[in-house]
Chains A and B, each alone.
Chain A
Amino acid sequence: MTQVATHHRELIFSPAIRIFHWLRALSIVVLIATGFYLSWPFLVAPESSDVLVQGWIRFAHIIFGFALTAITIIRFYLFFFSRNSANERRSIKDVLSVKSWIVQIKSYIWMGNLDKAGIYGPLQFVTYVGISFAALFMCITGLVLYANVYHEGFGGLIWDVSAWFTALMGGLAEVRVWHHIMTWAFIIFMVIHVYMAVWSGIRFKHNSVDSIVSGYDYHKDH
């Protein structure tokens, strides 16, 4: 007996986008956890001073910070230049259309379907752009703080521009405070993001959470 497919599938996220999405998610989670320790070292002091608790946690923070920096740059590049991101770029059309905004917001309050030109709705797209720029800000302030701890090598290379940025922010304390405050944008974003991904899959009966793993969305054949 042959089975007739009722749906056809469409590749909406290229492997690169999926891999970087999850690496970025991992980086953000590790950075939040280690970042809160750096802000308020809550672990009990070790038995011996030879165990560099703060040093190791800072090390992890820096490793994942560099990972996030690399991914942020790559992700900006992919958005603008990748063939597979044409469906992402189409979302700009939705952002510029007032009608599209109304359609999306109505769909979120259970009125009507979510019709859009790209793969993201305008509100969703603007949120992603915002969080991408927040990531950029975190990377820049993080690198400025890094240059102040590691004066040789890469830290030395970016020292002058870091000093310029520090003066722009009004001092290293301001850099540190804003680096801390912006962390909360990521925490709140993550919670809403996960909920909306699950909810829209259920509400609009399409592949949502699984798409960022498999890459495919499914459409019903008519």
Chain B
Amino acid sequence: MDTHSALYERCKNRLAELRETAPRQTVTLDEKLKENGITRREFMTWSASVTALLALPLPFTSLVSEAAELADRVPLIWLHMAECTGCSESLIRTDTPNLDSLIFDHISLEYHETLMAAAGWQAEENLEHAMEAYKGNYLLAVEGAIPTANNGAFLTVGCKGHTGMHIVKEAAEGAAAIISVGTCAAFGGVQAAAPNPTGAKGVQDVINKPVINLGGCPPSEKNIVGTLMYFIMFGKLPALDMFNRPKWAYGARVHDNCERRGRFDAGEFVETFGDQGAKDGYCLYKVGCKGPYTYNNCPTERFNHHTSWPVLAGHGCIGCSEPNFWDDMADFEKPLGRQLLHGVDATADTIGAVLLGATVVGIGAHAVASLFAKPLEE
């Protein structure tokens, strides 16, 4: 059996198992689609595009739509740590409810601080109940970095005043799979930038279980929903890259699929924002695009219903899906070769030139002194 048929069988068995379990929604996905004016045809189109997104062959389309319908069988706990909620926003802030936000609505969302109606003790009880009732079966999504300094005291959540570190460790214990949604949860993000006073870290650095990292500030709704769909369909982690990001989303650099790549190869660069090159859509490398060092599918998937992405809007990539991006990719509007090195406030080239100058002065002094030195005796 080849890889694809093996995957197909695995998915079919997984979905059959899920179908046996009780749905946790009273309304089926079909009814929700009708209610929101989304036709069956649009649903199938969405299924086909998710199939392509996950790099699966076309016959998987029917399985994707089946998995979407069965999403209400998979309990999901979504935790917010030190962050801005931008990743949730990326997913749910749409002008009209589209399929991605509907699936998120349909999946059995047990706990999500931004979206839930409960507050205080009731919210805490919901979380504890969900972790107990679905122990070993729930999908855990974490948004935000985990402050670890002072034993995690920089972040406490809820009426019991537990630290973020405590909550994540506890929730990770009973999770079937863990997804770090966004760069903060994956690598610490902006909070972990130097000097990192709160000791913010990614989820993978505070627990001892495999974590799927969805880099991006925020990741696109497609990458979040695609990862959820992958777990629903196969019940396991997808193939991961060097930083544990799904290969189907982070397998290529932004630079590889950039629509301005031809301009790059031709040596056509924007010199300053607003110049003729910028108007003509030239490459943004010289105004700081970090696409060459950033693995993500932004050029092909874009953001906000496939509307746009930074380079299309005329600004370079800032490398937000990479570890330590706030420090490593600075300055955002200069290429790496012109980066001001931390602590010395000068570029590598300035320091190099100064050292070269010092070398030349030293050589000159040595050469002049040699003229006056006593010759060697034979």
Contact = CB atoms under 8 A, between A and B. Distances in A.
Interface of A: 39-41, 43, 45-46, 49-55, 57-58, 110, 112-113, 148, 163-164, 166-167, 170-177, 180-181, 183-184, 187-188, 191-192, 195, 199, 202-205
B232 to A, nearest CB: 28
A41 B277 CA distance: 14
Interface string B215-242: 0000000000000000000000000011
B328 A188 contact: no
Interface in B31-72: none
Interface residues of B, number: 49
B337 A40 contact: yes
A110 B374 contact: yes
B286 to A, nearest CB: 6
A171 B265 contact: no
B244 to A, nearest CB: 9
Contacts of A202: 370
B319 A173 contact: yes
The 6 closest A-B pairs by CB, nearest first: A53-B267, A39-B337, A184-B352, A110-B373, A167-B242, A173-B293
Interface string B258-301: 00001111111100000001000010011000101111000000
A53 B266 contact: yes
B329 interface: yes
B317 to A, nearest CB: 11
A130 to B, nearest CB: 15
Interface stretch (B158-166, B306-314, B360-368): B360-368
B266 A52 contact: yes
A52 B243 CA distance: 33
> Chain B interface mostly helix, strand, loop or mixed?
helix
Contacts of A57: 267
Contacts of A203: 370, 376
Contacts of A183: 352
Given A41-B267, A52-B267, A55-B266, 11 more contacts: A39-B336, A49-B262, A50-B266, A54-B267, A110-B373, A170-B323, A170-B328, A171-B324, A173-B329, A176-B292, A187-B356
B322 interface: yes
Q: Is the interface of A mostly helix, strand, loop or mixed?
A: helix
Contacts of A110: 369-370, 373-374
A163 B241 contact: yes
B352 A195 contact: no
A35 to B, nearest CB: 9
Contacts of A51: 266-267
B227 to A, nearest CB: 20
A163 B244 CA distance: 11
A40 B328 CA distance: 18
Given A40-B335, A173-B290, A195-B367, A45 B360 contact: no
Contacts of A205: 376
B348 interface: yes
Given A51-B266, A170-B323, A191 B356 contact: yes
14 contacts: A39-B336, A41-B269, A41-B285, A49-B268, A51-B267, A52-B266, A54-B266, A163-B242, A171-B328, A172-B294, A176-B336, A184-B355, A187-B352, A202-B370
Best-surrounded residue of A45, A177, A199 (most CB of chain B within 10 A)? A45
B323 A46 contact: no
A31 B60 CA distance: 48
